[in-house]
Structure 1
Amino acid sequence: MFQFFRGQLGFSYIGVMITLVIAAIGMQGAAVMWQQQTQRANEALLLEIGEAYRLAIGRYYESTPQPVKQYPRMLEELVEDKRFPVLKRHLRKRYPDPFSAKQAMRLVVRDGRIVGVHSQSLLEPIRSAGYQEFQSGFHGAKHYREWQFVYEPNTLADLEVAWVSR
């Protein structure tokens, strides 16, 4: 009777090992899908935050009280515009980079003034088509840091229409 049990001792071990291998492969696939889903969510958030910054910069620029329009020097000026007797807010708060929550969005600066923002991420974008007209520079971008949300004068009305129509 001992001989019968000795011949089957290795079979259970092999069965457990096969089950573990199958479980590991399944978990690896789930991890890849979870990572892609997280990247897609961060990508959508980056588009939303970037547009919020671009619109805020545009509102700041267009509401300049002097005849010569000016961009903000600091992001804080978008949150609290003190150029008027009554405090004006173009942006609710400063938003972090969705891909690195501990870091702020990088600034695009011209002549010492902020004209836009961009992410610091070196990840390759998942989305490759379906951008708005004012996001035409996003096509073919190799990294998210190439997605620059820059306000160009005389486009604020177009931006607001596109932002509201989403």
Structure 2
Amino acid sequence: MENKRVLISGASIAGLTSAYWLNNNGFEVTIVEKAKEIRGGGYPIDVRGSAINISKMMGIYDSLKTKSLDNMKIKFLDRKNNLVGQLPDTSMKEYDDIEIPRGYLTNELYKLVKEENINILYGDSIKSVIQNTTFASVEFESGNKEIYDLIIGADGIHS
């Protein structure tokens, strides 16, 4: 299925990661994102288990590690908010797990996607899809129409 055209709806963690790997495996990838730009913010993200290996394969693990929220320690502060001591969570020392701001992870993934020259359509979304046995015809809210071999929905829990 190489050189097939793929549309991914959503430019957050799942959409950007999917775009990166599909592109690196010979697919022509376009992302459509309803927002006008990449969004940061949101709850912190735990990167653990297979996500550690994937981030290492993508070459972003070391960068993510520098932004660790370091929530694996108990900190003792005095009345003026000065650090007077801390207890590391020794149970986590054997693991590479990290917790990072969601926006930082999204930005690191976005940089990878931009380096690969993956097309992102900002401020647009899918209006309709007509599918047959070999392709899907997509009409966007902007009125543009394109044909894709595969459509992936990665547009989040609130979409």
TM-score under structure 2 length normalisation: 0.28
TM-score (normalised: structure 1): 0.27
Q: Which has the higher helix share?
A: 1
